[in-house]
Structure 1
Amino acid sequence: MNATAPPAATHSKATAVFTCILAALAGLMFGLDVGVISGAQQFIQKDFAISDHTIEWVVSSMMAGAALGALGAAWMSSALGRKRSLIIGAVLFVIGSILCGTAGSPAILIVGRIVLGVAIGIASFTAPLYLAEIAPEKIRGAMISLYQLMITIGILVAFLSDTAFSYTGNWRWMLGVIAIPGVLFLFGVVFLPCSPRWLMMRGQHEEAERVLHKLRADKDAVALELAEITEQLKVPQRGFHLFFQNRNFRRSVGLGIVLQVMQQLTGMNVVMYYAPRIFQGMGYNTESQLWFTAIVGLTNVLATFIAIAFVDKLGRKPILYAGFVVMTIGLGIVGTMMHLGIHTHAEQLFTVGMLLIFIIGFAMSAGPLIWTVCSEIQPLKGRDFGIGCSTITNWVANMIVGGTFLSLLNGIGDAGTFWLYAAFNAVFILLTFWLVPETKNISLEHIERNLMAGKPLRRIGQ
């Protein structure tokens, strides 16, 4: 008896594994870009002799580029295809990394960061979409989760890379080395097939069927998936028109925007971007600052597993409540310690511990779950428009937060800044009660019916 797997099944498995590698590289690339500036900025500031305000521009310019990239990604992925969009994103990522690593002035560095941001905006919109359309149904959820997890791993790797280069102070290598995963990502995307769904959208039915036969191996599964895609494409995306015509759709878009603003005002990304500066305020030297920053990244990775493990068991709202409470307490205590003064090593460690508690609160709740809820509350006809609005809002709010943190520190002090973010998180507990629906084990169709029937937002999952 021949135990060798059929060639079609072997090819299908290899393609699935290759797609997993793509997911990992796309997420890793995203995380590297977010995390790398944290350890580099103090050396950039010293080398160029620039102010805190200019450093804020260096940090936040990437988010401005990402908002632009996300804004154009929906059109690009539809007109050019998911694969070509990812190729463009990878090329821009490599160019942006090289520009940043070789920048001779703050202006060139900001331009490089904007180019990197555009690349990330394209990838953050297109990669999950491509993966969802090309992955076998049995591993689709796992692959999207892997993509989100790899973002946090990318941030950790960036922090560790920054720590390694910190002993020489070579910020150019910190920023330039992330071109390597960009090249690997580009190489991987070139050899991947086009999305069958996109091919069907363009009327290329035979090519879509050929691609699916390579990916699935089972002829019956191919026929079923082709029929499902054909049925789904009968529902046109009319989000822009629906937004102006339907009050209930405006409510879901508005909630998605509010949720993304909430996520950014938790203060998580200011910790990610400015962790060494925060640890400096606690009295640590440069090497210690970067090692503790790496610990922040590791905590972020590990705590993400809490959300993955419990989101479908406990529900969205209970975990969000817990997360906002934990974040309020964590930042409140950090602010209090900075107000009282951190004088001993024990007080330093306690303050670091409370900051890590805050990180756990975010990574287990608002980090992954805001995105989950945003994708669940949009009706089918307007899903692309609604999620697009949420994504752009996330990057714009991210840019504002990243571009104001040092000004807040210099204006109202370390303690006042952390108390401000703690107050935001306390308000978000109330907003979660008033606005956020529980969507655990509820079909998207049921949520849509309740939304369009005019039920209060917090009850559309009932």
Structure 2
Amino acid sequence: MRTCLKRPHVGPARTTNARRMALARVRGRAGHDVEGSESSQEMRTDPSEEELDILATSKAFLGPAVGGALFGYDIGATSGALVSLQTAATSATVWGPQLTDGQKGWLVSASLAGCVLGATLALTKGDEIGRRKELLLGAASFALGSIFSSQSGSLGTLAASRMAYGVGEGLVAHAAPAYIAETAPTKARGTLVSLKEAFIVGGILIGFVVSRMFADMEGGWRWIYGVAVLPAGLLGILMYSLPPSPRWLLTRGRGREEAKEALLQLRGQVPEAQVESELLLMEESAMPTGQLTLDSILDLFRGRNRKILFVGGQLMIWQQITGQPSVLYYAAQILQKAGFSAASEATGATVVIGAFKLLMTMVAVFTVDKVGRRPLLLAGISGMVVALFMLASTQGDASGPMGDPTWMGIVSVIALLMYVGCYQVSFGPIAWLLVGEVFPNSIRGTAIAVATLANFGSNFLVTLCLPLVEGSLGESGTYTLFAGLGIASLLSIYFTVPETKGLSLEEIEKQI
């Protein structure tokens, strides 16, 4: 299946010139094989048209996207699994209903600890083993974590199993955006990386649904955790059938022919001259990467790399410290204060919010390669700031007599949905998209690993400090603090983050 899509104009003349030079080199290398299709190549000298094999592109995307869905599933399923485990009628264990608050916190944080461990593994070994093998290891960690979680007979075993699942999350968080960014056609890259975010949100929704299905069943938490083995197996099968990233092969010195073979498999039924042109552009920026050393990590913080690391790293930190965990944590309370009866059941409320998150993520998916990264990011953050100030102004008694909604309650619900929607068209998908794009090929693996660690680290700190901040400032003060951080992120991103729409990874590298 094949379609011809028009590539948006990318502005700088050097982009067109670089491609023309690359095509000229293709003619020289390909000889008589290319000579027979000279008229077709002349047409492709101006990159206004580019062929895209939808089937091959979709297959290359689906593997890492399933990894994203497994990441989201854990977020959606954990709360339901904990309720089932702690309820005497459904736990089917002696120790589950006796869990203390500290033990519950330990159980929940075990997965996050595994994420950090997985991200550290990606930092130290990611460039050596490649994105494909990382995703295969992630599939194995997901499968083992879900199986052992479903069979756990003690708190310690369950916590260790959740940590194993978290290792898979850390590996996938690093490898999935890198693999998609490195293998996707330029014109579809933004859409595909953003669509991965939709898979994460879809995974959250599936986690909610599965929790509701098994929550009232005896030993239901075992089923909730165990179901994840099925998509974990699918992730393994899909990634086993896909080739390594051609860009990774070139940076590891594996040879041009191996990289070309991988690229031909990824591009499917497109002219070989088009593949040659793309491969030559990759070769121009491919620099061999060696073993990870302390000096190579420190090199990320030197010269030009320091600026690029700041661009990507700040997105990961701003994503976590501008209120997302706090707003979602208080979502059910906001709905209850508004007096809506549907909010009395936390699971029902989160399903509604999850569905809205998915809807707004799809808005980003269908607009990111048309509107661009910066407009979505800046507009979305601006909306988040307004929503946070609205939430801050409506805290207190937001319900009238007998629980009837007042204007304050209605405004707080509108603000909640506005915040969630704006997040899902900005930080949700765009931050990970840009992190996969802005780093040069030679440092992409290491830099994304550092950015991922920054993301999980800031998430951990926000989760740890949120109760203390809320206790000191109150809910209104907490929202105001997050709004102030949102303004700071808006200014920083406006002045430092470039537009990457319509550019190949090599063209982005030259522009920054």
Give the drift of 1:264: 0.8
Give the drift of 1:357: 2.2
Q: Aligned to 1:292, which of 349, 352, 358?
A: 349
Q: Which stretch of structure 1 is more off in the superposition, 154-163 or 229-238?
A: 229-238
Q: Which stretch of structure 1 is more off in the superposition, 441-450 or 118-127?
A: 441-450
Tell me the residue number matched to 1:386.
447
Is the CA contact 2:114–2:165 (under 8 Å) kept in the aligned structure 1? Answer: yes
Cα distance in 1, alignment partners of residues 380 and 187 from structure 2: 30
Matched residue type, 1:188: L
Tell me the residue number matched to 1:359.
420
Give the drift of 1:22: 1.6
Is the CA contact 2:190–2:368 (under 8 Å) kept in the aligned structure 1? Answer: no
Matched residue type, 1:262: W
Tell me the residue number matched to 2:74.
33
Give the drift of 1:64: 2.4
Matched residue type, 2:474: G
Give the drift of 1:345: 4.2
Is the CA contact 2:337–2:398 (under 8 Å) kept in the aligned structure 1? Answer: no
Cα distance in 2, alignment partners of residues 245 and 179 from structure 1: 42
Q: Deviations over 1:356-385 (max 9, x none)?
A: 222112112222233344455556654444
Larger radius of gyration: 2
Cα distance in 1, alignment partners of residues 158 and 223 from structure 2: 13
Q: Which 5+ residue runs of structure 2 have no aligned equivalent?
A: 1-52, 88-95
Q: Which stretch of structure 1 is more off in the superposition, 305-314 or 219-228?
A: 305-314
Q: Which stretch of structure 1 is more off in the superposition, 368-377 or 177-186?
A: 368-377
Q: Which 5+ residue runs of structure 1 have no aligned equivalent?
A: 1-11, 452-462
Q: Aligned to 2:130, which of 81, 101, 106?
A: 81
Give the drift of 1:265: 1.7
Pairing 1:323–2:384 present: no
Cα distance in 2, alignment partners of residues 399 and 254 from structure 1: 20
Matched residue type, 1:173: W
Q: Aligned to 1:258, which of 314, 334, 343?
A: 314
Tell me the residue number matched to 2:8.
none
RMSD of equivalent CA atoms: 3.6
Is the CA contact 1:299–1:360 (under 8 Å) kept in the aligned structure 2? Answer: yes
Is the CA contact 1:40–1:171 (under 8 Å) kept in the aligned structure 2? Answer: yes
Q: Aligned to 1:268, which of 286, 305, 324?
A: 324
Q: Deviations over 1:234-255 (max 9, x none)?
A: 4768963534542x54344345
Is the CA contact 1:56–1:403 (under 8 Å) kept in the aligned structure 2? Answer: no
Q: Deviations over 1:23-74 (max 9, x none)?
A: 4312211211232213333344444333334333333332222122122224
Give the drift of 1:94: 0.9
Do the aligned partners of residues 187 and 441 (structure 1) sit closer, same or farther apart at CA in structure 2, a change above 3 Å counting?
A: closer
Is the CA contact 2:181–2:437 (under 8 Å) kept in the aligned structure 1? Answer: no
Cα distance in 2, alignment partners of residues 128 and 136 from structure 1: 14
Q: Aligned to 1:126, which of 156, 163, 175?
A: 175
Pairing 1:440–2:499 present: yes
Is the CA contact 1:35–1:273 (under 8 Å) kept in the aligned structure 2? Answer: no
3-state SS in 1 of match to 2:405:
helix
Pairing 1:227–2:280 present: yes
Do the aligned partners of residues 220 and 435 (structure 1) sit closer, same or farther apart at CA in structure 2, a change above 3 Å counting?
A: closer
> Equivalent pairs: percent with the same residue?
30
Matched residue type, 2:451: S
Cα distance in 1, alignment partners of residues 388 and 103 from structure 2: 26
Cα distance in 1, alignment partners of residues 338 and 201 from structure 2: 24
Cα distance in 2, alignment partners of residues 107 and 274 from structure 1: 29
Give the drift of 1:267: 2.6
Tell me the residue number matched to 1:203.
254
Is the CA contact 1:324–1:426 (under 8 Å) kept in the aligned structure 2? Answer: no
Cα distance in 2, alignment partners of residues 240 and 115 from structure 1: 26
Q: Deviations over 1:295-327 (max 9, x none)?
A: 111111111234345556666555445434433
The aligned runs of 1:332-347 (5 Å cut-off) are: 332-334=389-391, 337-340=394-397, 342=399, 344-347=403-406
TM-score computed with the length of structure 1 as normaliser = 0.79
TM-score computed with the length of structure 2 as normaliser = 0.72
Do the aligned partners of residues 88 and 108 (structure 1) sit closer, same or farther apart at CA in structure 2, a change above 3 Å counting?
A: same
Cα distance in 1, alignment partners of residues 253 and 118 from structure 2: 23
Aligned residues: 436
Matched residue type, 1:432: L
Pairing 1:428–2:493 present: no
Q: Which stretch of structure 1 is more off in the superposition, 22-31 or 40-49?
A: 40-49
Matched residue type, 1:401: V
Matched residue type, 1:33: D
